Amino acid sequence: MVDSSIDSLREAAHRAASDAEQIAWVDEQDNLLGALVRSELRERGLIGRGTYIMLFNSAGELCVHRRTLSKAIYPGYWDVAAGGMVLATETYAESAARELEEELGVGGVELTAHDHFYFEDTGNRLWCSAFSAVWDGPLILQPEEVVEARFIPIDQVLLEITQKPYCPDSLAALRRYLRSQGPDVA
């Protein structure tokens, strides 16, 4: 019980710090307008920038992970990509590298850029950049954001997304990635 309370306090503190981060605020064409605190950007329904990093192993399996319940958007959902909001001082690529290392403990890998697109859902308006990377090493999960993670075949991912709650923004990135790779990927 004590460990659970400590974990909950750690997640709450992380969420408060995350909500206070200065995020890149952009317009409908992805032109930088300035920086806003993440919680204000979300509350005002403004557009930010986000990154999605699909992490594969050399067998072609995709890393999926479950988000903590303290996440502001899609708490407890499964996710097909590491990633997050781009800080006001970062490029998309810098944000992608930072997020992959923070969430899954994967650093120093080559990121391949795939796509740049707009996504909108209730409480979530983003210009998105999607990347991929290959990693066969251990995963070191950020406990404040990731509950569990595992590599699974793409066909299993496509089945799971019909059975479990998955983040719609990262699913948009995955679907666009799969279409770009041709019919033989899945």
- Residue 39: predicted pLDDT: 87
Q: Is 61 annotated as a binding residue?
A: no
10 Å Cβ neighbour count for 179? 11
pLDDT at 36 over 80: yes
Backbone angles phi, psi at 16, to 5 degrees: -60, -45
**What is the DSSP code (8-state) at residue 74?**
S
pLDDT at 93 over 70: yes
Residues 139-144, mean pLDDT to the nearest whole number: 95
Task: Evaluate if residue 183 carries a pLDDT over 80.
Answer: no
With a cut of 90, say whether residue 15 has pLDDT above it: no
- Taking each continuous run of H as one helix and of E as one strand, the counts in the chain are 5, 9
Domains with residue ranges and CATH for the chain: 2-181 (3.90.79.10)
CA atoms within 13 A on the CB side of 25: 16
pLDDT at 182: 78
Whole-angstrom distance, CA of residue 141 vs CA of residue 159? 24
Q: What is the pLDDT of residues 39-79, one digit of tens each?
A: 899 899 999 999 999 999 999 999 999 999 988 899 999 99
Beta bridge partners, 124, equal: 121
Q: Identity (one letter) of the amino acid at 155?
A: D
The rounded percent of the chain whose pLDDT value lies above 70 is 88
Higher pLDDT: 123 or 126? It is: 126
Q: Is 103 annotated as a binding residue?
A: yes
From residue 165, alpha-carbon distances to 77, 93, 141, 178 in Å are: 5, 27, 20, 20
